[in-house]
Amino acid sequence: MALWDRIRESASSPHLTAQKHELTSGMFRDASMAICALVAAADGTPDPAERQRVAQLIATIEVLQNFAFDDLRRRFEDNLSTLTADFDFGKAGVLKEIAKAKRRPAEARAVIYIGIAVGGADGRFDKTEQAVVREACHTLGLPPHDFDL
């Protein structure tokens, strides 16, 4: 199975779907939107089409449907603004948000799956996107090879 097929399955996997009722914390919400922004900004300033594509993906990921879409989009946009203003400074803050999910292994894994799905939203998961998701894995104490990174 191609990596992209596995990525797509990961974000909508029965395992994550089964955990939908467990993935309701504010920490998970914040970490998810932080990784969405980090991946979207990984290869430079995201254009409006990329922002829209990520926003549409956020609306379709079942485990994120526990939260109000407008709230998710605002958090995504806030993180993205921080990253585009100063990527290195913003990245530190975004990784801090992602790190909050470390206390709950199911949330941490779900955050990574969401980051991978965002990275592949345009049909390719490039090296810069893979690198920031790998960094998020390290932040969460998860082995990147568990996610083929």
- Give tens-digit pLDDT for 80-115: 999 999 999 999 999 999 999 999 999 999 999 999
Domain at 3-147: CATH architecture: Orthogonal Bundle (1.10)
Q: How confident is the model at residue 142 (pLDDT cuts 50, 70, 90)?
A: very high
**What is the C-alpha separation between 121 and 11, in angstroms, rounded?**
11
**What is the C-alpha separation between 52 and 109, in angstroms, rounded?**
25
Amino acid at 98: I
pLDDT score for 96: 97
Task: Read off the pTM.
Answer: 0.87
Residue 63, C-beta contacts closer than 8 angstroms, at least 6 positions apart: 16, 17, 19, 20, 23, 110, 114
